Structure 1
Amino acid sequence: MQSKAITPDQYITELPEDRKEVMQKLRETVKKNLPKGFEETMQYGMISYVVPHSIYPAGYHCKPADPLPFLSIASQKNHIAFYHMGIYSDPNLYKWFTEEYPKHAAGKLDMGKSCIRFKNPKNIPFDLLGELTTKITVEDWISKYESLLKR
């Protein structure tokens, strides 16, 4: 479900009632823990946290007019999604997260490459996602991104 919202506030406002509170809490968790330099915006129909062009003028290699994506959150049809590009690109971070997850959440981890899915909003480990959010700075992300592009 890709939103046509222009701002994160509009995105939250347009959600069904049963999703508003959890998405607002997830947004607040990310904003509270996000290292300096990332910017909140709407990208690809989701609330996204990006490296702005003012820091990384090259933008996203797939679409240079877009800022470099890092993290997004979305209310999808059957789940809440937490997209973290760093977890996909850093095997050590992936290992840390998958080992920590059972200590913070009930149920099995439902995860694709960079997408962590929560079918039951009551099972979202906000503290763990907050800690995950702190793990990569803007500088770290740019460095990791560029090293992956050169491969």
Structure 2
Amino acid sequence: MLPTDSTWKGIRRLRRRPGRYEIDEIDESTTSTRAASVRSDATSVAEYLDELPDDRRGDLEAVRASILAAIPSGVVETLNWGMISFEIPLERYPDTYNSQPLLFAELANQKRHMAVYLHCIYADPTIRQDFENEYAASGKPMDIGKSCVRFTRLERLPLDAIERAVRRMSVEEYIAAYEASRRRS
């Protein structure tokens, strides 16, 4: 017997197999996007910022300014992966596993929050722990994922801790940490 709840919304055709049904075709236009991120078709950082809702634009611009003030020489700001990326260009380091620039940090507007992806602190467990301790000491609510710091308002983010974390690792140190992690895997 087929379930009748909303989990089956979007299924166009099922194949019956002995004792079970298999999904054969899904209509993507009707499936839920509840967990999806906000998609941007912007082609530049300025365009990306212009299409943000007013209540988030100022917050993301402030975080962006802090990161730009702290990033080491050799890291460039671009729009990549649908978000603002601070990356080491392929001209500087071409030997990445996916032939894409090596990400140092990113900044994104998501559906229910904004996020700062600090790849630079995840390369060194000591720097990450120091960042988390400083964040906790700030008294601001900490919402840290495996690779990001989520926030809903600028007031909930310790910008000084973000800036210090970004400053702590040079491009050379980051590349060395990246190469060491690739050798381990």
Q: Tell me the TM-score normalized by structure 1.
A: 0.92
Give the Cα separation in 2 of the matches to 1:89 and 1:2: 27
Name 1:113's counterpart in structure 2: 146
Any idea what SS the aligned residue of 2:85 has? Answer: strand
Q: Which amino acid aligns with 1:15?
A: L
Any idea what SS the aligned residue of 1:71 has? Answer: strand
Q: Is the 8 A contact 1:87 1:114 kept in 2?
A: no
| 1:10 aligned to which of 15, 37, 47 | 47
Q: Which amino acid aligns with 2:178?
A: Y
Give the Cα separation in 1 of the matches to 2:123 and 2:174: 10
Q: For 1:28-107, list aligned pairs within 5 A.
A: 28-58=65-95, 60-61=96-97, 63-64=98-99, 66-107=100-141
Query: In structure 2, do the counterparts of structure 1 residues 45 and 105 end up closer, same or farther at CA, with 3 Å as the change threshold?
Result: farther
Query: Shift of residue 89 of structure 1?
Result: 2.6
Query: Shift of residue 42 of structure 1?
Result: 1.0
Name 1:25's counterpart in structure 2: 62
Query: Shift of residue 88 of structure 1?
Result: 2.2
RMSD between aligned residues? 1.2
Query: Shift of residue 87 of structure 1?
Result: 2.3
Query: In structure 2, do the counterparts of structure 1 residues 103 and 136 end up closer, same or farther at CA, with 3 Å as the change threshold?
Result: same
Unaligned runs of 5+ in 1: none
Q: Which amino acid aligns with 1:132?
A: A
Query: Shift of residue 123 of structure 1?
Result: 1.0
Identity %: 35
- Structure with greater contact order relative to length (CA < 8 Å, sep ≥ 6): 1
Any idea what SS the aligned residue of 2:72 has? Answer: coil
Q: Is the 8 A contact 2:123 2:174 kept in 1?
A: no
Query: Shift of residue 102 of structure 1?
Result: 2.1
Give the Cα separation in 1 of the matches to 2:174 and 2:45: 23
Any idea what SS the aligned residue of 2:79 has? Answer: strand
Q: Which amino acid aligns with 2:122?
A: Y
Runs of 4+ in 1 over 4 A off after TM superposition: none
Q: Is the 8 A contact 1:34 1:134 kept in 2?
A: yes
Q: Tell me the TM-score normalized by structure 2.
A: 0.76
Give the Cα separation in 2 of the matches to 1:8 and 1:136: 24
Greater helix fraction, Structure 1 or Structure 2: 1
Any idea what SS the aligned residue of 1:150 has? Answer: helix
Give the Cα separation in 2 of the matches to 1:7 and 1:15: 13
